[in-house]
Amino acid sequence: MRPISRRTYLVAVAVGTAGLAGCSGDTDESSTDDAESDNSETDSTDSSAPEDDESEQPAPDESASIHEEYEKTVVTVQSQDGETLGSVTAAIADTGDLRYTGLSDTESLPDDRGMLFVFEEEQDLTFVMREMDFPIDIVYADSDGVVTSIHHAEAPGPDEDGENFEYPGRGQYVLEVNRDWTTEHGVETGDRLVFDLP
């Protein structure tokens, strides 16, 4: 077993089988500095534009690079009467390897991002927090996308491995978002996850 380096991990245990489900995100380090500081012929707008662009780009670039190797889908949560409650762009973890890697390299999530775990069929599952660095909401949904349960999962403390932080549920889909995202958007059991899979 490889050593764990305080990254985020989540274990999905499906009736007798265990898989590590966390997030994997490689940060794309790109350099976009085209302006040279001692170019005396650039006017004030040209010389200030790259600085402004660089100061505004980190958040969008960081968000774009999260889970860049995953397929993604927009997951919209609709209330039972069809009202849109909120949506996130979710990385799709639909194979054993992707579910195992899951959130393992993600130290945090932007508010508009999440991960959608996709299983072949509806089943009993238990997600267990392991070496998590941040708390999340775990949303179980059945084969029709109807929310069956919601957990507000705490991150383990410094001296805890999170193995005893168990969050069971039944579903074919599990959506992970930042903790309290579901509360802030009024998501309840019986609401529906709406998304397209590639």
Higher pLDDT, 106 or 54: 106
66 pLDDT band, cuts 50/70/90, is confident
Contacts of 132 (CB under 8 A, 6+ apart): 8, 9, 10, 22, 103, 153, 155, 156, 162, 165
- Cβ atoms < 10 Å from Cβ of 72: 18
Q: Which of 152, 112, 128 is nearest to 19 (CA)?
A: 128
DSSP helix, strand, coil percent of the chain (3-state; round to 5): 15, 40, 45
Which pLDDT value is given to residue 128? Answer: 74
CB 157 within 8 A of CB 187: no
SS3 track for 68-116: CCCCEEEEEEECCCCCEEEEEEEEEECCHHHHHHCCCCCCCCCCCEEEE
CA 50 to chain centre: 31
170 SS3 class = strand
State phi, psi for 197 to the nearest 5 degrees: -100, 140
What's the rounded Cα separation, in Å, for the pair 191 and 170? 15
64 pLDDT band, cuts 50/70/90, is low
56 SS3 class = helix
Tens of pLDDT along 99-155? Answer: 766 666 678 889 999 999 999 999 999 987 876 778 999 999 999 999 999 999 988
What does the longest C-alpha to C-alpha distance in the chain come to? 69
What's the rounded Cα separation, in Å, for the pair 150 and 51? 43
Tens of pLDDT along 22-46? Answer: 433 333 333 333 333 333 333 333 3
CATH of the domain spanning 9-25+61-194, picked from 3.40.640.10, 2.160.10.10, 2.60.120.1140, 2.60.40.1120 = 2.60.120.1140
Tens of pLDDT along 85-101? Answer: 999 999 999 988 877 66
What's the rounded Cα separation, in Å, for the pair 8 and 4? 9
